């Protein structure tokens, strides 16, 4: 796979379905690495992508939309650059939601490091499930 193809976040990978999001929060599992949380659930997509990703920043922590939008942009960018960590051991389609859960204003570098640690923790959890 070419580098351009790996580091993209196409529309087909964006999680937009309200029913899928509701189902994910109701029946999905999660993994956390402060201040990030990754909620995930198996999905059934008709199209090609093996997973879809959404991001969320709570209005509880950032009242101003400009602040929420900034952190959502940062989360999407860190996902885009590190999504190969999620893809490595997935055999089935998944839906993911990446949440920023603190009022602390971390730098891009800190968020990127936490995202990598979170994706690695998810991989370890998936490896444990596959081993059973």
Name the pTM for this structure: 0.88
Under CATH, to which class is 3-131 assigned?
alpha beta
Q: Where are the domains of the chain?
A: 3-131
For each of the chain's 132 residues, which pLDDT tens digit applies?
Answer: 445 567 788 888 899 989 989 999 999 999 999 999 999 998 876 555 578 999 999 999 999 999 999 999 999 999 999 988 888 777 788 899 999 999 999 999 999 999 999 999 999 988 887 776
DSSP 100-124: E--S----HHHHHHHHHHHHHHHHH
């Amino acid at each position: 796979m070419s580098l351009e193809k790996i580091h993209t976040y196409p529309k087909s990978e964006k999680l937009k379905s309200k029913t899928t999001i509701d189902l994910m929060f109701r029946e999905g599992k999660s993994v956390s690495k402060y201040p990030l949380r990754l909620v995930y659930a198996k999905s059934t997509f008709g199209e090609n992508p093996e997973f879809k990703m959404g991001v969320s920043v709570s209005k509880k922590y950032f009242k101003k939309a400009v602040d929420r939008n900034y952190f959502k942009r940062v989360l999407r960018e860190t996902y885009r650059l590190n999504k190969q960590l999620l893809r490595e051991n997935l055999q089935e389609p998944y839906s993911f939601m990446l949440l920023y859960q603190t009022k602390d204003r971390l730098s891009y570098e800190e968020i990127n490091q936490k995202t990598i640690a979170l994706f690695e923790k998810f991989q370890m959890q998936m490896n444990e499930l596959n081993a059973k």
